[in-house]
Amino acid sequence: MSTLESTAPAHAAVPGRASHRGLRGLAARGGYGTYVAVRVGQAALVIALSYVLVFLGLAALPGDPVRAQLENPENGYTEADKAAVIAYWGLDRPILEQLITSVQHALGGDLGLSLNSRAPVTDIVLGALPSTLVLAGTALVIALLIALVIGVLSQRLPVGPLRSLVRSLPTVFLSTPNFVLGLVLIQLLAVQLGVFSVIEPDSPPATLVAALTLAIPVSAQIAQVLVTALDTARAEDFGDVATSRGVGDTAVILRHLLRPSLLPTVTVCGLVLGELLGGSLITETIFGRSGLGSVVSKAVSSQDVPVLQATVLISAAVFVLVNLVIDLAYPLLDPRLRTRKAAR
């Protein structure tokens, strides 16, 4: 075992440490290059399995929504159009052959055409994706700021009712549904105070309010991990040493306790991204934003299977890729994960 590993403080109370020990072993055995290759392979496998599961899940739905849309006279498909679609996707063949055909098209960047608008599905989804990413990214930044404030105050405030109140905020936030919070903020900030206009849902003020709606419940999970990590770091010797040298309490928190506590917090940020993407669909519907939420809502109501499949696939890919970046950055943040050889 290396010197760094043998003297490292225990972090059993912080979620994710077990997986980090596994990453440390992988980095030690094969180096960072092996670690990158394994993580990239795992990410590709997850995206592929997501596509397969979505395809099989939609195929298992009762009835045949694709053929129903082809037969719908409002969509204006001619007999030749129907035959071309059926032949292109192999809809007259067994489900396994349909899956293989679909995967082949997807690997070529072809996710099909919308059964309603006949526009390329890729254009529809990628056109709505930036709005959702802006909302989710802004919400993540706000959630981090809220969690950071809660974490610092949980250490800085003296023991008493106020400190207990601050530490209980994550529980309150976590139990607050974002659709309820969104309706309250719309009523308060849009209707009563006029901070933003409900008829301009994509304006910067409306985006900030929508992001706040999405961020508050998500910040609870980040704050819980950060507070636990700060408590663990506070119990270590380096905090006492800094205090004995005359360093102020706030400086001890920001300079000595916060840095090691950010490592598990970064991991949680990647995990909550899925909740941000899922919650953004609801939030976009509440605020009337033109993102993936509106695309999914229209696709569900019209049974537009290619659009649904592409939306789930691209959302899963974004989630996996962001977590991949976090995984690849983790060894750069924690030197123990870059240890290649055990100390003799």
Is pLDDT above 70 for 15? no
pLDDT: is 30 or 97 the higher one? 97
Residue 17 pLDDT greater than 50, yes or no: no
Confidence band of 213 (pLDDT split at 50, 70, 90): very high
Q: Kind and range of the H or E element at 156?
A: helix 121-156
Q: Distance of CA 148 to CAs 68, 166, 197, 219, 329, Å?
A: 51, 12, 30, 9, 20
For range 135-146, the mean pLDDT: 92
pLDDT at 1 exceeding the cut of 60: no
Q: What is the pLDDT of residue 29?
A: 54
Question: What amino acid is encoded at 245 in this protein?
Answer: R
- Flag whether pLDDT at 25 surpasses 70: no
Please report the pLDDT score of residue 252 as a whole number.
72
Residue 281 DSSP label? H
Q: Taking 70 as the threshold, does the pLDDT of residue 34 lie above it?
A: yes
State percent of the chain over pLDDT 90. 12
Structure confidence at residue 10 (pLDDT): 38
Residue-by-residue DSSP string for 50-70: HHHHHHHHHHTSSS-HHHHHH
Residue-wise pLDDT for 287-306, tens only, equals 988 888 888 888 888 878 88
Q: What integer pLDDT is reported at residue 104 of this predicted model?
A: 87
pLDDT at 209: 93
pLDDT at 9 over 60: no
3-state SS, residue 197: coil
Cβ neighbours of 82 (radius 10 Å): 15
Name the residue with tokens 């010797």: 237
Q: What is the mean pLDDT of residues 206-232?
A: 90
Domain 122-304 annotated CATH 1.10.3720.10: yes
State how far the Cα of 84 lies from the Cα of 311, in Å rounded to an integer: 24
pLDDT above 70 for 57:
yes
Closest to 130 in 3D by CA, of 27, 280, 7: 280
- Dihedral angle of Cα 122, 304, 102, 40, to the nearest 10 degrees: 50
Q: What pLDDT score does 238 carry? A: 67
Question: Quick check: 114 and 295 in contact, CB under 8 A?
Answer: no
- Kindly report, residue by residue over 146-171, the tens digit of the pLDDT: 999 998 888 888 888 998 999 999 98
Specify the pTM.
0.77
Confidence of residue 26 (pLDDT cuts 50, 70, 90): low
pLDDT at 79: 86
Tell me what the pLDDT averaged over the chain comes to. Answer: 80
Query: What is the model's pLDDT at position 18?
Result: 43
Residue 14 has a pLDDT of 40
**By three-state DSSP, how is residue 93 classified?**
coil
